[in-house]
A and B are shown apart, each in its own frame.
Chain A
Amino acid sequence: MSSHRQLHVKELSGNILKMKFMQRNREQQQKEEEEKEQQRALSEAHWVVDFDSITPENETKIESESSFMNFLEGGNIGRRSYQKFNNTIEKLAEEQMKEQKIKKIEENEQKNSVSDKEMVDRYKKDIGVLPTNKTEKRSLTNDKDNDSSNKKQKLNSKKSKDISKEFIKPE
């Protein structure tokens, strides 16, 4: 590009070059080039965390709750009546009891069924070990190099790697 412009510049006379529109054009081109340079410098300075090479120390998720509401064994019915002292409350308590029983059964069923994450784990185990490329960088230039050198490895584990990427992202 620059050599191309130099040829043009040689051909043009000084008078033409002094004209305003020519100067404006040149300034614009310079500005664009500067911007490009700046962006390249910025993108090189950015670094990407390689999630694949990091193995979390504590794999199980832990949620904390401040209320006892979900930790009451055997149900939670606040208003009750005995021997038909207040019929409406008695009926309401029965309904709530049924609801809570159904909820509990559903919870247990969910626990017994196979979750998506477990499927992925099983799949990983059966297909093979995931590649852990610690030196892999995610810039445009380096990707090309990696492609040629790691082609064989990638082909082997492409499927499992894709899946792992999907699930490691924070939900």
Chain B
Amino acid sequence: MSETEEFKPYTILPGETVSLDKYKNEKDVIKIGPGLLHEKHQISAMKAGTLKNYNNQKWWIDSSQRRYVPSLNEHVIGKIIAKTQDYFRVDIGSAHSALLSTLAFEGATKRNKPNLEIGALVYARVSLANKDMEPELECISATTGKANGFGELKNGFLIKCSLGLCRSLLNPNTPILTALGEHFAFETAIGMNGRVWLNTADISNTILLSNAIKNSEFLSAKEIKQMVKELVKQSEDDMEL
């Protein structure tokens, strides 16, 4: 089977079976992602969404759900809800709260622990994810042991959105953030658990940005540009008044 057919993403419903034979590449290992189940020589869908693939090698269902299920190495934004001597208990929006060791920060030692208050936000990496256990977090990179952007998120504002929107925001060329970046100076952290943290110098800008991001989920790139343009114009008018 040297020739493989061109694949077009299509909508799929739970229970439907997926036939990959047409696109099979004999020498490769096929990776199936979230939403697909491999059982008895057959691949079937478990979620409703769009079936997508990459290089006929990776297959997954892109869906926009709101329930977060932690999984290894995902970057999340969590809120500290309790602290003990060794652990912070962190709410990451999943069924169970996660544990964050006080030593899992860059440069942290037994004597020099980070002092985070209850209610503080952290950007962290899931270091243990198992459906039968509490998830565990770390605020250091898995390979280098450095902070690499992880750690406490000071100031700023947190908004919640769907997991699908968060995934699209993670793309460095996402239209909404690049369009907003042309007009405003701001900083973001995007967690895969459906949380986006924003920080700007001005509260009115924060409100504007958070509304723009929330509204952008179902807009095309063109519509997003238009929306941002209008919002900028509006805010300038307000300033003059």
Contacts and interface: CB of A to CB of B under 8 A. Distances in A.
By size class, the interface of chain A is: 35 or more
A83 B31 contact: no
Contact of A78 (B69, B72, B191): B191
A108 B57 CA distance: 11
A93 B149 CA distance: 9
Interface in B134-178: 148-149, 167, 170-173, 177
Interface in A54-101: 57-86, 89, 92-93, 97
Interface in B60-106: 60, 69, 71-75
Interface stretch (B36-44, B110-118, B214-222, B226-234): B36-44
B184 A82 contact: yes
Contacts of B225: none
A72 B28 contact: no
Interface stretch (A6-14, A34-42, A110-118): A110-118
A126 B74 CA distance: 46
A85 B148 contact: no
Interface in A28-60: 57-60
Interface in B8-31: 20, 24-31
B204 interface: no
A155 B73 CA distance: 52
Contact of B72 (A67, A86, A92): A67
Contact of B149 (A58, A66, A92): A92
B177 A117 contact: no
Q: Kindly name the residue among B28, B33, B37, B71 whose own CB sees the greatest number of chain A CB atoms within 10 A.
A: B33
Contact of B31 (A70, A85, A97, A111): A70
A113 to B, nearest CB: 10
Nearest to B188: A80
B34 interface: yes
B171 A74 contact: yes
Contacts of A66: 34, 69, 71-72, 129
Given A67-B73, A69-B73, A83-B185, A78 B190 contact: yes
B184 A83 contact: yes
Nearest to A119: B27
Contact of B172 (A93, A108, A118): A93
B48 interface: no
Nearest to B32: A64
Contacts of A76: 170-171
Contact of A60 (B30, B72, B74): B30
B149 A62 contact: no
Contact of B171 (A68, A75, A85, A121): A75
Contacts of B184: 82-83
Given A66-B34, A97-B172, A92 B148 contact: yes
B201 interface: yes
A111 B172 contact: no
B148 A63 contact: no
B33 A64 contact: yes
A65 B170 contact: no
Interface of A: 57-86, 89, 92-93, 97, 108, 111, 115, 117-118, 121
19 contacts: A57-B41, A60-B24, A60-B28, A62-B38, A63-B29, A64-B31, A64-B32, A66-B69, A68-B34, A69-B71, A71-B54, A72-B170, A72-B171, A77-B172, A78-B75, A79-B123, A82-B185, A108-B55, A111-B55
The 5 closest A-B pairs by CB, nearest first: A82-B181, A67-B71, A83-B185, A79-B149, A85-B185
